[in-house]
Amino acid sequence: MKGRTTLFNPGCDHAGIATQVVVEKKLKREKGLSRHDLGRDKFNQEVWLWKNEKGTVIYDQLRKMGASVDWDRAVFTMDPKMTRAVTEAFIRMHERGTIYRSNRLVNWSCTLRSAISDIEVDKKELPGRTLLPVPGYSDKVEFGVIVSFAYKIKDSEEEVVVSTTRLETMLGDSAIAVHPDDDRYKHLVGKMCVHPFVDRLLPIVTDSFVDMAFGTGAVKITPAHDHNDYEVGVRHNLPFITCINDDGDISAGCGKFSGMKRFEARRAVAEALMEKGLYRDKKDNPMVVPICSRSKDVIEPILKAQWYVNCNEMATKALKAVQDGELKIVPEAHVATWNRWLESIRDWCISRQLWWGHRIPAYFITVNDGGKTPIGDQCDEKYWVSAHTEDEARAKAAKKFGVKPDQIQLKWDEDVLDTLFSSGRWPFAILGWPETTADLSTFFPSTVLETGHDILFFWVAKMVFMAQELTGKLPFKDVYLHAMIRDAHGRKMSKSLGNVIDPLDVIRGVTLESLHEQLQHGNLDASEIATAKAGQTRDYPNGIPECGTDALRFALLSYTSQGRDINLNVLRVQGYRFFCNKIWNAVKFTLMQLGSDYQPPSPFKLSGSESIIDKWILSRLANTVISCEQSINEYNFTQMTTAVYNFWLYELCDVYLEAIKPVTSSTDGALAANRDAARNVLFHCVESALRLISPMMPFLSEELWQRLPKVSNAPKSIVVAEYPEPQQYPFASDSLEADVAFALTAIRCVRSLRSDYELTYKQKTDLYLGCHSAEDRSTLTAFSSIIGTLACSNNVKILDDKDSVPAGCAHVIVSSRCTIHIGLQGIIDISKEIAKLETKKGKAIEALKKIETDEGRPDYEAKASLDHRVRNQEKKEQLTKEIANLVASIDALSTSSA
């Protein structure tokens, strides 16, 4: 609409862990099979079938939501061209040394038997002792406690007491650490502690990471199962002893506990310590438990040989890009998050022990040269090559070791890449990289990325890393981060809670029974389905009303001011559906007023016959255009929705359409020029306002725009019509808008007073407007006909200083500038109205007395809260004013009835 060549490229990533978990559950539920029963190739065939089924649902949602994407360009991260780009990226980065092999601690899901990324770890905060369900355990497991036990000093009666929240990991302890300045332990430094269950001595070492004030000041060190302990282990060259295996069982070499499930071993270790007299106590301990978001298993830090990306240099460049303004993050508040993550960057583990995903293009080398080259270690970078094919890998390996290709034996890495590594090249891979294509030259770097703030580091930063590393350019100029959608109660959407909202259900509407039925087709067990049904019944007892796409889009845009989270209330969306109806009716009215033979002028120009209200609506249109332009440039979509909402509803419909009815419907020849001017202004405002809402409400705006009369050479669709630009609307007038605002305030006061007296639209009243300045009298005189039309009056008289108010009038104070008197003589029963007003006055006086009694208490100032005193004062002022107005109204009506 702004005349620029644009590309909005649709696509999906393969969501490695999430997809594999769903398909595994589906296989187990429907066929009673595991992925291991099928094997890698057949299992991946099942995943492709599932992807082809569910992928259409995602795209259908996008289509129904009106996403103006180029569907011919839809891309899937497992497509051949994307796979080639992933392979190329890995090889280049590996050969540069940016990707390397290392044996480090990873987030390990024992249920998935895979490392997972930080984004897939949920942090569950516990206030103290809590029993949590863990996959594979019939009973809940205790967390939120800290256990203290003693290690005996070798050849001594002394002991060192340590504390832990993961008692089973003591089977992997390799040292005890104390602070170098802690006098309590200086005489023990260098001595050995005896492990009570395995043949192992633990040295007592000093390390400044120890907090002397926490617990006993002595810390057990388990380098193979704790991130802090890992660093201590590296610094002190301690043995890294694995005590939990990939399945979550206790490893071999751990005595009688070997083979036990880790949390069963936790209880068994506690009992064994008690038997040996080494158990000291157990206390509540607020803590955070890491939970796998996919399997719901408790995450274990486990030492694994994995592939890593060295992020230090890339993070430095990404930080500088934001600091120098080359990369803009909106809202700016998220820059602090960006800086915090990147300033404390850790190398990125990109290996996943899955079957679904891009298999890592790396090969482990064994050299068959008669024993001259020793058998390599999986962690040793020397024994790995990366390549596009096995033949290429063999040639690289032969060159690396100086042997013939037939002396090389290769094993392709079984692991796949982190999905975020695959999707991290999205901005340039979809355009043909690593080839130099026309698309890559035209559309890369892109202008803006719009995504959720929760993946600012996990995905956005990775795209910046990869683009700068592989292309030398930033992938985009702006990053707009939207809020996360939660339910109306502020809860995260969860299938097990039954509070996930499908946008198609909001668009089309859905019954409660259908919502329940949808739960049967998911992966929830019976108990989760029961919980979800209860949640749906509570939140949607009557189902979800049909709201339409445009109302949903508009609602989501209007919600963007809420910051980090959106509490989505479907009733608010339904409210915007009513707004859509209002727009529809406004255009319908416009077409009736224009007539079938109307031909809009091109271009629109002022004729000189425009009324004040014509000029006012043009001024409001101009300011709405300015507001929309500013909002788009600043990504302030709430301001944009507010501007068009107010224009359509409160200015065009409530004021202008009503004000021009006497003119556009008149057959008086003397008003022909005014009538033509009003029609041209009406068309210009409605047609422009439809173009303003087109990006927000594409379906409604297109349908209505097509019904309007067209200028010659009009575009075929509103989506390629010119978007309104401020310079095209030179009609803004602050002084005029201020005058109209004064008149509209007067009109609203009259309407409110008429409502108080329950007057119908057909009951016309005389109005008498008393102003305190000649300037205000002049202003309201200019608007007298409009006031009469909008305030249901046959006669509007502006009173000067000499005029008196006729008998039988009620009055309302508009402001310090104006008082309005409304003639009621002969329209209402005066005596009945006086009785009503007396009753209201009596209630107001009683309420005022109650407040005064409260304030008269001797201890009021001492005991009443500040909020309570402020509320009382505000209520007193309100009641005093109300009583004064009632008295004045009673006096005025009493005078007329005398």
Tell me the per-residue pLDDT of 366-409, one tens digit each, with 9 for 90 and over.
Answer: 999 988 999 999 889 999 999 999 999 999 999 999 999 999 99
What is the arithmetic mean of pLDDT over 240-255? 96
Q: Cis check for the bond before 434: say yes or no (omega within 30 of 0).
A: yes
Q: Which residue has the tokens 């010119």?
A: 722
What is the arithmetic mean of pLDDT over 275-304? 95
State how far the alpha carbon of 551 is from the alpha carbons of 504, 582, 848, in Å: 12, 12, 45
State how far the alpha carbon of 606 is from the alpha carbons of 602, 722, 731, in Å: 12, 20, 10
Give the CATH number of domain 145-285.
Answer: 3.90.740.10
Predicted local distance difference test score (pLDDT) of residue 569: 87
- Residue 11 pLDDT greater than 90, yes or no: yes
* CA torsion angle 633 636 640 645 (round to 10): 180
C-beta atoms surrounding 765 within 10 Å: 23
What is the arithmetic mean of pLDDT over 627-639? 95
Predicted local distance difference test score (pLDDT) of residue 621: 98
**Is residue 388 within 8 Å of residue 86, measured between CB atoms?**
no
- pLDDT band at residue 562 under the 50/70/90 scheme: low
Predicted local distance difference test score (pLDDT) of residue 833: 81
Q: Which of 797, 793, 808 is nearest to 770 (CA)?
A: 797
**Is residue 294 within 8 Å of residue 107, measured between CB atoms?**
no
Predicted local distance difference test score (pLDDT) of residue 604: 94
**Is residue 883 within 8 Å of residue 841, measured between CB atoms?**
yes
What is the arithmetic mean of pLDDT over 11-27? 89
| pLDDT tens track for 490-528 | 888 876 667 788 999 999 999 999 999 888 877 777 888
- Residue 139 pLDDT greater than 60, yes or no: yes
| pLDDT tens track for 608-631 | 999 999 999 999 999 999 999 999
Q: Which of 406, 603, 459 is nearest to 120 (CA)?
A: 459
| pLDDT tens track for 694-731 | 999 999 999 999 999 998 889 999 999 999 999 999 99
Helix (H, G, I), strand (E, B) or coil at 713: coil
CATH architecture for segment(s) 585-723:
Orthogonal Bundle (1.10)
Predicted local distance difference test score (pLDDT) of residue 897: 54
Residues above pLDDT 70, as percent of the chain: 99
Give the span between the Cα atoms of 698 and 574, in whole angstroms. Answer: 17
- pLDDT band at residue 884 under the 50/70/90 scheme: confident
Mean of the per-residue pLDDT values of the chain: 93
**Is residue 227 within 8 Å of residue 108, measured between CB atoms?**
no
- Residue 888 pLDDT greater than 90, yes or no: no
User: Cβ neighbours of residue 369 under 8 Å, at least 6 residues apart?
Assistant: 401, 403, 407
pTM of the model: 0.83
Predicted local distance difference test score (pLDDT) of residue 892: 75
Q: Which residue has the tokens 């019939």?
A: 138
What is the arithmetic mean of pLDDT over 845-860? 92
- Using DSSP bridges, classify how beta strands 351-352 and 416-417 pair: parallel, antiparallel or unpaired: antiparallel
Helices then strands (H, E): number in the chain?
29, 31
Residue spans of the domains in the chain: they are 145-285, 486-546, 585-723, 736-807, 830-897
Q: Is the dihedral of CA 874, 877, 880, 881 positive or negative?
A: negative
- pLDDT band at residue 685 under the 50/70/90 scheme: very high
Q: pLDDT higher for 667 or 62?
A: 62
C-beta atoms surrounding 829 within 10 Å: 11
**Is residue 794 within 8 Å of residue 823, measured between CB atoms?**
no
Tokens matching residue 851: 């407040």
Predicted local distance difference test score (pLDDT) of residue 73: 95
- Residue 898 pLDDT greater than 60, yes or no: no
- pLDDT band at residue 671 under the 50/70/90 scheme: confident
Predicted local distance difference test score (pLDDT) of residue 519: 86
Lowest mean pLDDT among 83-92, 287-296, 592-601, 828-837: 828-837
- Residue 896 pLDDT greater than 60, yes or no: no
Helix (H, G, I), strand (E, B) or coil at 12: strand
What is the arithmetic mean of pLDDT over 212-234? 94
| pLDDT tens track for 587-599 | 999 999 999 999 9
User: In terms of residues, how long is the chain?
Assistant: 898
